[in-house]
Structure 1
Amino acid sequence: MGFFGVLEDHKLPHVPGTVILNEQSAHSEDVTAGLKHGKGRNSHIVLVPQPSEDPNDPLNWSQGKKLAIMIIVGFGSILYASTVGPLLNASLLVLSIDFNKSIGDITLISGYQLLVVGGSGPFVCAAGRKWGKRPMLLLSALLGLLGSVIVSATNSYTGLLAGRIIQGGCTSAFESLVVAMIGDLYFVHERGIYMGWIQFILGCSSNFSSVVCGAVTNHLGWKYLFHFMVLCIGIQIILMFLFCPETTYIRDRRYDIDELADENLANLAAVEARHERALDLDPHGDGEKGGAGLEKVATVDTMSSSRRRTYRKKTFWQSTAVFTGTYSHDPWLKLLLAPFAVCTNLVVLWCVICTGTVVAMYVAQAYVLAQIFSYPPYNLSPEGVGYLSLGPFVGGTLGSLAMGATIDPVIRWASKRNKGIYEPEYRLIPMVGGLLAGTGLVVFGVLCQDLRSYYATATAHGLALFGILCIAVPASSYILDAYREMGNEVFIANMVFKNFVFYSLSYFVNDWTAKSGPKVVFGTFGAIAYGFMLTAPLVYVFGKRYRSFWARHNVVEKLGIKTHAEI
């Protein structure tokens, strides 16, 4: 048995996902000394995956460039994935009166939008795998702009519905491909904080937008929500076009030491050594010693020492190209089926259902806020309903900070005590905080049923979101480390499932709450959340053995579907 209860596998010499992270604790200097390492206090950390010698490899980009990309694309996720969906949550009663429709009919508009989000997911995944993430992000942003322009100019229920449906096309890429981008840009020991950041954006920044949206609706009218969206989207599109190059990259497979069943570190170290000798012999030629020349030109070994390839760094304007080539030669149908095929992996299926369902429960809370608090004894205005989202915003912020501060240090701590060996299952240790999700949901329902102070209900709402992030961040990080080659497809599958659940809830959660009361509704949701937490230890304990089983019986590969870029 490995450290802290992870069961060892005895079928493969090396299980994909298991890597040497801390060479000092692993005493593996003889094997790993020739590989690339972190810098400064992380100099003992072996970089996983190993970056290539190509200056255009996203793993080789500067930390400033990577951070700029994450900020700009994260801004897009705030707009398209976090704000577009709940944009009208605080305005449901106002829209109901303006269009002479029931609150259920207005909620259903968001339901149709979510149906588009879920339905477009496989196409976004297929196109992203085929042509890269950048074209999909730009196209999605343009759909968000078009939908916002339509709604800002309409005066009818039909126009509102049409604009919101078009807006639905902007969400998929910024809810799923953005998560997979973390694996494109960052090494294993760096991903946790960015995963926490993205989950903060997807999970709780929508709460702050609800606060702002409620105030805007109350003072300026709901149309101004879309006027402001047009302005923000326009700025984001310009920034993304200029400063967010393509992050999908076709890397020699032997550099992806976290994905291989035969990592062959000695061979990779030998290639690195040959490259270093070439630099020593020609310090002012194709690759200058110390990495300076690497910024422009690098000549390196590829699959054999007899075959060399020269890389030139792209210019700024070359990096702004919308299309940068074809990254997969698989037929379109196979690419469309890939998000569903990866769910034949039981751990992937667990992650998709677990994280998608708990986030949907939180969204159900947002669906009923106006229904509960716009009427006696609360009688809150749209602005007041929006302020209720401060509770989950604070809870989500604390949850994201807690995960960001602990999830990477935890894996370093666990790897050090596991003789320097990193197991992706260590990502699941902070998931114990997910017990607060069920508690928050149950308490929220009870407080609403008993008409308690909205300060108390907002606190319970925040507690639920804190716990939900303690589930979503570790589970998503685990999948990204354990099955990174399927990252695009997994997060698309998660997004599709989640949004179809959202759509289903929009049909009945308001009526269910009115008929049975919030205590029954959220008590049920809380029990489901507790049930998911009971399954997490099974994944943790048996996860490595299942990774070995999957490497030996990969159903996706047997179907002829490739889920990673190939040379």
Structure 2
Amino acid sequence: MRKDRNALYEGDKVNLIPMPTDDPNDPLNLPAWRTWAAIGSLCLFGAMAAAAELILGAMLPVFVIQYSPIGKYPPSYKILQYIHLPENVNSLRALEDLNQNAGPPIWRTFLLSSLPVLMIGLSNFFFVPLAITFGRRPVVLVSGLIAISGAVWAGHSTSLNSHLGARSIQAIGAGTVESLIPFIISDMVFLHQRNKAISLVFGIQGLLIVILGIATPWIIIRVNWNWVYFITAIAAGVFWIVVFLFMPETRYYRTDNEMKGVSRHPLLPGQSRPPIDLTEHAPRTWKRDLMPWGGPVHVKRGLMAFVHTLQTFFYPHIFFVTLLNSATIAATLAAGYTVSPQLLAEPWSWPFEHLGFLLFSVLISAIAVFLISGLLADGLANLIAKRRGRRDPEIQALNLIPPTVISLIGTVLFGIAGDEPGKYGWPTFLVGLGFISYGFLATNSIGVVYVLECYPHMAGPALVNIGSFRSIIAFLLVFDVAEWIARMGYLRTFGIYMGLLGGFILFIPIIFMFGEGWRKRWPGPTERVDVNVVKE
């Protein structure tokens, strides 16, 4: 047994944290191919569940026209392939004028993208406690069906109100992407692999969103916008089947020592984990893994998880990470919602069918997230851990600095290019979008890892803070962004996000210096009945 609990390294040897048990049904004892197949299936499903947020954000001019007075003459939105907004005219104001004071205000149409952000935040309050109560697998499968049904409804909607209702239902199902999927991944991988695994999820999601996003304008012009939802629903249905086949139940209870990397069984010299014991435990079977529902129901644990969510939100380090994520996701959503009108306007005059290519900046960002905030961030954290003997969560604060700075630079580029398109080319505009997207994806994955490392014994409630509160706060920061830009322009609007990000950059060193003391002062509930921990 190791003397130093939580020690990630002993010499050149990597210790396993959490420590697997001798049970073949322990998710940490899955074969490597099965672990990565499960994570991959979650990536694919999560991408389709969340795809509508960025893709439809870039396609909002379609719905502005669809629900304007000229929308009475379908398919009126297809005129976008023939018109360009004039130069030196605020593109958002020009879109608003299409309503002719008779259609819904532009902010209400833009709720098609911003309202789902609020619903995702609210749904996370319930999904994680439900996953703790009933198990991860049934909640993922049910939420997937909710997301698919919402997409089908959206495709059949014929009014803005119906469309908003469908998008809300779709977002409730997509809420699993925000906190439940990282929660499940934390059940399946070790501490030294988490940056890589979680950044891989967001990276692959970015790749699939870009692929679908490039095709979206062609689908809208050659078929109609309804089929964007139908294709999303079909793809999500296929990936739901993949999740059903490859993702087993990952809820598993460990002792507090095992969460810190100490085995409950004596280990022989040279052993890094206890061997599988089939005399004490039933073997893992496909029949058991494919059961949609398995294991006991723990109502008390679920209720306590909800209480602990509210409790941990006010821990200063968790509060900071949540607000930082709120600022980066708000800047990303604001840019995503307002990028296409300016590209359609003079002097850039992008053809509508080419709008999907703007998502290449998001693709490059997603690749960079995996390489820099995944592999490189894990490497940095493990290198420092090797020198210190343990991997402290505050190492992740150092990893937060580059993406936050890059996101800040992105808001500047996006704002100045949006206000002066004649002086700055569209590449500057899209580089700004890419920098902002990278900042969000990277701070999201790193923030999730930080929270998991701070409170591994109550990972679910701590993750809900990122998934729920940040989405609610982000909604408040973006739901009226179209009106802001129509009144103030791009640079002054994105100056709001510049100020927020600049302030958070100044606080990152404080987290690095005082985070350990805060964790000791607020270690979490002493009665750990909420997540995976059981008594010795």
- So what's the TM-score if we normalise by structure 2? 0.85
Deviation at 1:408, TM superposition (A): 1.7
Matches within 5 A, 1:488-499: 488-499=460-471
- Given the alignment, which residue of 452, 455, 475 partners 1:503? 475
- Show the counterpart of 2:48: 79
- Given the alignment, which residue of 386, 410, 431 partners 1:459? 431
- Show the counterpart of 1:389: 359
- Quick check: 2:115–2:479 contact (8 Å CA) kept in 1? no
Task: Name the SS for the 1:424 alignment partner.
Answer: coil
Partner Cα separation in structure 2 for residue 424 and residue 137 of structure 1: 28
Matches within 5 A, 1:249-264: 249-257=252-260
Partner Cα separation in structure 2 for residue 71 and residue 543 of structure 1: 33
Matches within 5 A, 1:432-451: 432-434=401-403, 435-451=405-421
Partner Cα separation in structure 1 for residue 391 and residue 328 of structure 2: 28
- Show the counterpart of 1:35: none
Say if 2:372 is the partner of 1:372: no
- Show the counterpart of 1:23: 10
Deviation at 1:513, TM superposition (A): 0.8
Deviation at 1:516, TM superposition (A): 0.9
- Quick check: 1:92–1:107 contact (8 Å CA) kept in 2? yes
Matches within 5 A, 1:101-500: 101=103, 102-201=105-204, 206-257=209-260, 268=263, 271-273=266-268, 294=276, 298-299=278-279, 310-326=280-296, 328-330=298-300, 333-418=303-388, 420-434=389-403, 435-451=405-421, 452-500=424-472
Say if 2:499 is the partner of 1:519: no
- Quick check: 1:369–1:385 contact (8 Å CA) kept in 2? no
Distance 1:111 1:244, change over 3 A: same
Task: Name the SS for the 2:278 alignment partner.
Answer: strand
Amino acid at match of 2:16: L
Deviation at 1:91, TM superposition (A): 2.5
- Given the alignment, which residue of 531, 534, 538 partners 2:503? 531
Deviation at 1:202, TM superposition (A): 5.8
Amino acid at match of 1:160: H
- Quick check: 1:218–1:381 contact (8 Å CA) kept in 2? no
Distance 1:270 1:235, change over 3 A: closer
Partner Cα separation in structure 2 for residue 269 and residue 320 of structure 1: 29
| Alignment root-mean-square deviation, CA | 2.6
Deviation at 1:207, TM superposition (A): 4.7
Partner Cα separation in structure 1 for residue 153 and residue 140 of structure 2: 20
Distance 1:206 1:359, change over 3 A: farther
Partner Cα separation in structure 2 for residue 344 and residue 381 of structure 1: 48
Partner Cα separation in structure 1 for residue 441 and residue 312 of structure 2: 23
The percentage of counterpart residues that share the same residue type is 22
Task: Name the SS for the 1:47 alignment partner.
Answer: coil
- Quick check: 2:127–2:139 contact (8 Å CA) kept in 1? yes
Amino acid at match of 1:328: H
- Given the alignment, which residue of 538, 544, 562 partners 2:516? 544
Amino acid at match of 1:69: A
Distance 1:359 1:113, change over 3 A: closer
Partner Cα separation in structure 1 for residue 208 and residue 26 of structure 2: 31
- Quick check: 1:327–1:566 contact (8 Å CA) kept in 2? no
- Show the counterpart of 1:95: 63
- Quick check: 1:130–1:328 contact (8 Å CA) kept in 2? yes
Amino acid at match of 1:510: A
More off after superposition, 51-60 vs 397-406: 397-406
- So what's the TM-score if we normalise by structure 1? 0.81
Distance 1:165 1:471, change over 3 A: closer
Amino acid at match of 1:20: A
Task: Name the SS for the 2:281 alignment partner.
Answer: strand
Amino acid at match of 1:104: W
Deviation at 1:392, TM superposition (A): 2.9
- Given the alignment, which residue of 49, 53, 58 partners 2:22? 53
More off after superposition, 132-141 vs 378-387: 378-387
Q: Deviations over 1:274-324 (max 9, x none)?
A: 9x9xxxxxxxxxxxx995xx3xx534xxxxxxxxxx211231011111222
Task: Name the SS for the 2:491 alignment partner.
Answer: helix
Distance 1:95 1:467, change over 3 A: closer
Deviation at 1:73, TM superposition (A): 0.7
Amino acid at match of 1:539: I
Deviation at 1:354, TM superposition (A): 1.1
- Quick check: 2:155–2:227 contact (8 Å CA) kept in 1? yes
Deviation at 1:219, TM superposition (A): 2.8
Unaligned runs of 5+ in 2: 69-102
- Quick check: 2:305–2:461 contact (8 Å CA) kept in 1? no
Partner Cα separation in structure 1 for residue 134 and residue 274 of structure 2: 34
- Quick check: 2:199–2:442 contact (8 Å CA) kept in 1? no
Task: Name the SS for the 2:300 alignment partner.
Answer: coil
Task: Name the SS for the 2:534 alignment partner.
Answer: coil
- Quick check: 2:452–2:459 contact (8 Å CA) kept in 1? yes
Deviation at 1:428, TM superposition (A): 2.7
Distance 1:395 1:115, change over 3 A: closer
Task: Name the SS for the 1:388 alignment partner.
Answer: helix
Amino acid at match of 1:409: G
Partner Cα separation in structure 1 for residue 168 and residue 482 of structure 2: 21
Partner Cα separation in structure 2 for residue 471 and residue 271 of structure 1: 39
Task: Name the SS for the 2:215 alignment partner.
Answer: helix
Task: Name the SS for the 2:178 alignment partner.
Answer: helix
Partner Cα separation in structure 2 for residue 425 and residue 112 of structure 1: 34
Deviation at 1:108, TM superposition (A): 1.2
- Show the counterpart of 2:93: none
- Quick check: 1:203–1:359 contact (8 Å CA) kept in 2? no
Q: Deviations over 1:80-125 (max 9, x none)?
A: 12x0323422332222222224543221122332232222221112
Partner Cα separation in structure 2 for residue 482 and residue 504 of structure 1: 28
Deviation at 1:332, TM superposition (A): 5.6
- Quick check: 1:117–1:171 contact (8 Å CA) kept in 2? yes
Partner Cα separation in structure 2 for residue 467 and residue 109 of structure 1: 24
Partner Cα separation in structure 1 for residue 469 and residue 344 of structure 2: 31
Partner Cα separation in structure 1 for residue 53 and residue 321 of structure 2: 23
